[in-house]
Amino acid sequence: MSAPLSADQLLTVLRAEGVHVVEHAGWRTHNRNHKGPWGPMHGITIHHTAGRSSLGLVYEGTADLPGPLCHTHLAKDGTATMISAGRANHAGTFAQNAYDAAVSESSTHPRPDSAEPVDGNSHFYGIEIENLGDGKDPYPAVQYEAAVRWAAAICRAHHWTADSVIGHKEGTRRKIDPSFDMGKFRRDVAARLKTQPAGSGSSSSAPPRPTVDLSKLIAAAKSNPPAKGTPVTYDGVKTVEDALVKEGLLARKYADGHYGTATKDAMSAWQERCGFHGRKPGQPADGIPGLITLTKLGKRRGFDVKE
């Protein structure tokens, strides 16, 4: 789910979330994809414009910083104008620790390091919220609520949690935007994500959320592959396999509750995707589940992890 949303997909998910969306002429093909990569997507960056009447500016940019300067411009009245569906000049470079926190959906977002090796523009969606950014100019409720819904819509589409959302000031020391508290903003996005968007089914029929016991899963991962036949030693394996299938890492036929070599390889691929590798250089991740990677899989695919 880390491929960028298309222009049509963006419109669909934002409107389903109740955002009042309008389309800037030419926005579908207005991007900087010729200047660098766009995707895989890892998060969302929130900005304030630090000015008024900024719609034209965020579309065109400046001589020094060509547009588009965001994906969406959010006016004071809550109108979200689509500016780009591709690479945009909004994030610039990010600190590694800030980037890692967003990618791993950490509940803590550290003060960014001064070194900034990450190209934020290739991995983050950006919204420019019209505000003077002086700490005095208010964000009208209709505008703030639209920003929450905008972020929630994209998180929902990617199966991200609210911890994939960072302020520009959390990605780099160079910036102070947005001028509101990002902890509160993430809590508001998380609350929004617990509701159902318009057009989706009722949540009352949703099955209970499963819990996977990490130690039982590890025992299965160690004992199942060398065992005779395809024994199922722990039923939580099936929950994890279904999640790996949804991630595109495991063929459906191997989601059988048996933690065999296919499941181990799929878990190894998931660990690699999370940035973990084997103990020696060039060696793949071991495919024995660990707390960080399993928790991340559960957050994305709907299960909890018990240590």
Nearer to Zn ion, 46 or 262 (CB): 46
Site for Zn ion contains 177 (CB under 5 A):
yes
Size of the site for Zn ion (CB under 5 A): 3
Name the minimum Å distance from CB 281 to Zn ion.
37
Q: In the stretch 219-248, what mask flags binding to Zn ion with x, by CB under 5 A?
A: ------------------------------
Could you tell me the smallest distance in angstroms from the CB atom of residue 16 to Zn ion?
27
Shortest distance in whole angstroms from residue 177 CB to Zn ion: 4
CA-CA distance, 15 to 143, in Å (whole number)? 15
Binding mask 85-114 for Zn ion (x = CB under 5 A): ------------------------------
Residue 118 DSSP one-character state = E
Given a contact cutoff of 8 angstroms between Cβ atoms, the answer to whether 81 and 75 are in contact is: yes
Shortest separation between residue 174's beta carbon and Zn ion, angstroms? 9
Helix (H, G, I), strand (E, B) or coil at 87: coil
For residues 42 and 168, which CB has a smaller minimum distance to Zn ion in the complex?
A: 168
Nearer to Zn ion, 52 or 306 (CB): 52
Decide whether 149 or 168 has the Cβ nearer to Zn ion: 168
DSSP states of 149-196 = HHHHHHHHHHT--GGGEEEHHHH-TT----SS-HHHHHHHHHHHHTSP
- 116 touches Zn ion by CB under 5 A: no
Q: Which is nearer to Zn ion, 174 or 209 (CB)?
A: 174
Per-residue b or e along 13-25, where b marks 16 or more CB atoms closer than 10 Å to that residue's CB: bbbbbbbbbeebe
Read off the tokens for 50. Answer: 């630090």
Q: Which stretch binds Zn ion (CB under 5 A): 19-27, 46-54, 245-253, 262-270?
A: 46-54
**Dist. CA 186–CA 105, nearest whole Å:** 11
- What is the separation, in whole angstroms, between the first and last Cα of the chain? 27
- Cβ proximity to Zn ion, 105 vs 177, nearer residue: 177
Nearest-approach distance from CB 120 to Zn ion, in angstroms: 10
Pairing of strands 72-74, 124-129: parallel
* Alpha helices (runs of H) in 182-290, residue ranges in sequence order: 182-193, 214-223, 236-246, 261-273
Structure tokens at 182: 């990002």
Which of 30, 149, 168, 192 touches Zn ion by CB under 5 A? 168
* C-alpha pair distances (Å), 139 with each of 15, 17, 21, 136: 21, 20, 18, 9
Asked if residue 119 lies in contact with residue 37, where contact means CB atoms within 8 angstroms, the answer is yes
Contact stretch for Zn ion (CB under 5 A) within 21-29, 174-182, 234-242, 275-283:
174-182
42 binds Zn ion (CB under 5 A): no
Q: Decide whether 178 or 257 has the Cβ nearer to Zn ion.
A: 178
Using CB under 5 A, pick the residue from 47, 87, 158, 264 that binds Zn ion. 47
Residue 179 or 224 having the CB closest to Zn ion: 179
Please say whether the beta carbons of 109 and 41 come within 8 A. no
Q: Which stretch binds Zn ion (CB under 5 A): 40-48, 149-157, 158-166, 258-266?
A: 40-48
In the complex, the residues that contact Zn ion under the rule CB under 5 A are: 47, 168, 177
